[in-house]
Chain A
Amino acid sequence: MFMTRRSSLTALAIAGLTASVSPAIAQQDASQPAWAQGRPESMQGAPLSPHAAPLTVTPEDQIPVDRLRLPDGFSAELWAHGMPGARMMALGDEGTLFVGTRSIGRVYAVTDNGESREHRIVVEGLTQPNGVAFKDGSLYVAAINRVLRFDDIESQVANGEIGEPEDLTEAFDLPDDEHHGWKFLAFGPDGRLYVPVGAPCNGCDVDSETHANIRSYAPDGSDMQIVARGVRNTVGFDFHPETGELWFTDNNQDWLSEHWPNDELNKVTEPGEHFGFPQCHAHGIVDPERGEAGACDDVTLPVALFDPHSAPLGMRFYTGDMFPEDYRNAIFVARRGSWNRSLSVGFDIQLAMLSEDGSRAGTSPFMVGLHAPSENDFLGRPVDVLQMPDGALLVSDEQNGAIYRISYQAPDYQAQ
C-alpha cells in the first residue's frame, strides 16, 4: 500500500512542525481553542465546534456520489478517491491533477490514463499544505509556513521519483500563524502568484500590511504587493476571464450570530482596496466591538452574499464549451458547510451569475445532496472546483477524500 512510503522530504517537513500556534495569539485568549475565540458566555455549553475532517480512506461504496443532485442534463461520477482530506486542486499542463490537504499534511497527484485514475503522494508530513498552483512545469505548494516549488513535476510523477523541492519559504516570508494560516494559491493573468494571509483570530485588530490581506508575488517570492486588505479569511479566488479582475470568497466572523454576518463573494477593482475586516462585515454591518459609526463608509462591500457560516471556499469562472451558454463566465463556488450555526447550511456547489456590468452577482444552488437539512447533518464537504480542458467540472469532497466529475449532455425532453 502507498501508505508505507516515505520520501526523504519527511525529515525536512518535520523541522517545520514546532511552529504550531503563535504564542502571541494564544496568550491573548488563554484557555480557549482558536475556534472558540469570541464565543459568548451564554454559548459556552452549545454543541457547536468545527467538524474534524476524517483522516482515513472512505471505502468506495460509502462515497455518496449517488446522492448528488444537479440541474437536468448534468451528471456526476466518482472521478478519483482514496485521498483523505482532499481539498484545493491545480491542473498540470500534461493533465496531472494536484490536490492539497490540511490535517493529514499531504499533497496528492492524480494521473488519468483516459479510463481510470491513479494517485500518489507528492509530499507529506507538512503542516496544512492547502495551497497548490501550477505554472511552467512547476508545482507550488503552500503550507504553514512553507512555500515549496517542485520543478518539472509531471515528469517526476510519471517517473515515480519525486526529488527535493526548492524551498521558497524565506523568499515569501509569510507569517506562520496557525489560525487561518492555511493558504490558497493561484497564478494571475499577470503571471504573479497570489497568496492570502488570513486574520490570525476569529475577530481581532490586525495590521492590514501583515494580516487579513491578499498579496501577489513574483513566482520566486520577490516583489510582494498587497492586492486587497480587510479580508478575514479567503480560501478561494479566480480571475475574471475577460477583465482579469480578482474575485474571491471570504469567510466571516463566528459567534456574532446564527444569522449574520453573511459570507462573501468579492471583486477587487482597485489594487490594495479595503474589504472591511475587522470593523465592517458582510453587506455593511459595523462590528459591535471594533467598529465605530461609519466603519463601512470607505470599504468595498461584497458583490454577493452567501448564508452566514456556510464557508464558501474554492471558486472558478466557467469558460468551457461543455455546459450551456448560460454558464459562460459564471462562477462555481464550493461551500464546505457550516459549523457555527445550530441549523446547518451549505455543503453544496453554488452558481454565481454576474450582472452585465459585473458589479453584482446572484447565487443559486448547482450541486446539492450532501447536506441533509432534515437531519441537520451532512454526507460530504465540497471544498474546491476546477474546470477540465473538456469543459467538465471537478469537485473535491474533503469529507470523503473524493473528487467528482460533473459533465453535461442536453436533456431530450421530447424523447421521454
Chain B
Amino acid sequence: MTGVRTGLVALSIWLAMPSGMADTGPAAGKPLEEQIAICGGCHGEDGNSTQEAVPSLAGQPPLAVTNQLIYFRERLRQSGIMTPQAQGLEDSAIQALADYYAAQPVASSSTTRDDTLYDQGQGLASQHGCSSCHQPDYSGQRQMPRLAGQREDYLNKAMKDYRDRRRGGPDTTMIEIMTGTPDEDIHALAHFLAHLEAD
C-alpha cells in the first residue's frame, strides 16, 4: 500500500487541493504524550473537561472516541474545531488516544444537583430506553459513549444538535432517537446523566 508511486499520488493530490484543505492537525505525527497535552488544552489533561460545551473524554469506551475522531478526520462529521484538529491522525494514534482516555477516572460534576430535575431525567431516560445501548449504568459500550458524569452543558448541546440535525456522521441512530424531543426533556436528561455518579 505504500511505495514510490504512492508518494507521487500524495504530492499530486496535494497540489490539486483547494487552499486550507491540506493542513494536518497540530497533534498529527507527535508522540502520545504531546498529543495528550494538545487535546488536554480543551478536554483536560486527564480527559475531564473544564471548558463549557467541551466533552469529557475520561472513561469513554475506546471505540466511541475512535469512531468520532475518524468521522472528523474523514470529514464525515463537520466541526469548525475538531474536523481540522483530526486531519492527519493515523488510525494507530487515534486508537492510542482512545485507550488513554478510556483509562482515566471520571471526575464528579461541578454543577449543583437539583433532585426534582434529576428524578425527572431519570424517568425520561428509562422511558426512552437509553440504557439499552448506553448500559444500565450509562458507562457506554463499543461505539456508544459514556453518558454518566459527562458535562451537563455538553450533553444539552449534543442532544439538541442531534435533534436539530446539526450533527452529522455516518451513524444516524441518535438523530432518529432525538427527533421531536422538547428542550425541557433534554435539560432533565442532561442534568440526570451529568450527576449520575461514575463507578
Determine if A30 and B179 form an interchain contact, defined as CB atoms under 8 angstroms apart: yes
B119 contacts across to A, CB distance below 8 A? none
B143 contacts across to A, CB distance below 8 A? 52
A32 contacts across to B, CB distance below 8 A? 176-177
Cβ of A39 to closest chain B Cβ, rounded Å: 10
Q: How far is the CA of A124 from the CA of B2 in the complex (A)?
A: 18
8 Å CB contacts to A: which residues of B84-124?
87-92, 94-95
Q: In the complex where A118-B1, A118-B5 touch, is A4 in contact with B87 (Cβ < 8 A)?
A: yes
Determine if B179 and A161 form an interchain contact, defined as CB atoms under 8 angstroms apart: no
8 Å CB contacts to B: which residues of A184-226?
none
- Which one of A14, A49, A103, A120 contacts B9 once the chains associate, using CB atoms below 8 Å? A120
A14 contacts across to B, CB distance below 8 A? 75, 78
B66 contacts across to A, CB distance below 8 A? 55-56
Cβ of A158 to closest chain B Cβ, rounded Å: 8
Determine if B128 and A5 form an interchain contact, defined as CB atoms under 8 angstroms apart: no
Q: How far is the CA of A178 from the CA of B165 in the complex (A)?
A: 14
Q: Is the interface of A mostly helix, strand, loop or mixed?
A: loop
- Which one of A33, A82, A105 contacts B1 once the chains associate, using CB atoms below 8 Å? A82
B76 contacts across to A, CB distance below 8 A? 17, 103-105, 125, 127
Q: In the complex where A11-B21, A105-B76 touch, is A6 in contact with B13 (Cβ < 8 A)?
A: yes
A-B contacts counted at CB < 8 A amount to 146
Cβ of A183 to closest chain B Cβ, rounded Å: 15
Determine if B170 and A128 form an interchain contact, defined as CB atoms under 8 angstroms apart: yes
Determine if B91 and A20 form an interchain contact, defined as CB atoms under 8 angstroms apart: no
Determine if B16 and A7 form an interchain contact, defined as CB atoms under 8 angstroms apart: yes
Of listed A33, A49, A124, residue having the most chain B CB within 10 A:
A33
Q: 1/0 per position for B178-191, CB-CB distance to A under 8 A? A: 01110000000000
A40 contacts across to B, CB distance below 8 A? none
Q: 1/0 per position for A2-25, CB-CB distance to B under 8 A? A: 111111101101100110110000
Tell me the nearest residue of chain B to A27, going by C-beta. B179
Determine if A7 and B78 form an interchain contact, defined as CB atoms under 8 angstroms apart: no
A34 at the interface (CB under 8 A from B): yes
Q: How far is the CA of A159 from the CA of B9 in the complex (A)?
A: 8
A44 at the interface (CB under 8 A from B): yes
- Which one of A18, A31, A57, A117 contacts B179 once the chains associate, using CB atoms below 8 Å? A31
Cβ of B161 to closest chain A Cβ, rounded Å: 12
8 Å CB contacts to B: which residues of A70-106?
82, 84, 102-106
Q: In the complex where A21-B172, A34-B176 touch, is A5 in contact with B10 (Cβ < 8 A)?
A: yes
A20 contacts across to B, CB distance below 8 A? 165, 168, 172, 175
A288 at the interface (CB under 8 A from B): no
A240 at the interface (CB under 8 A from B): no
Cβ of B19 to closest chain A Cβ, rounded Å: 11
Determine if A120 and B74 form an interchain contact, defined as CB atoms under 8 angstroms apart: no
B195 at the interface (CB under 8 A from A): no
A232 at the interface (CB under 8 A from B): no
A18 contacts across to B, CB distance below 8 A? 165, 168
B82 contacts across to A, CB distance below 8 A? none
Additional pairs, 4, CB under 8 Å, beyond known A31-B181, A178-B172: A17-B76, A18-B168, A26-B176, A103-B171
Partner-B contacts on A (CB < 8 A): 1-8, 10-11, 13-14, 17-18, 20-21, 26-27, 29-35, 44-45, 47, 49, 52, 55-57, 82, 84, 102-106, 117-120, 124-125, 127-128, 159-162, 178
Partner-A contacts on B (CB < 8 A): 1-3, 5-6, 8-10, 12-14, 16-18, 21-22, 24, 28, 63, 66-67, 70, 73-76, 78, 87-92, 94-95, 128-129, 132-133, 142-143, 165, 168, 170-177, 179-181
Could you jot down 5 A-B contacts, CB within 8 Å?
A2-B9, A31-B128, A49-B133, A57-B91, A104-B170
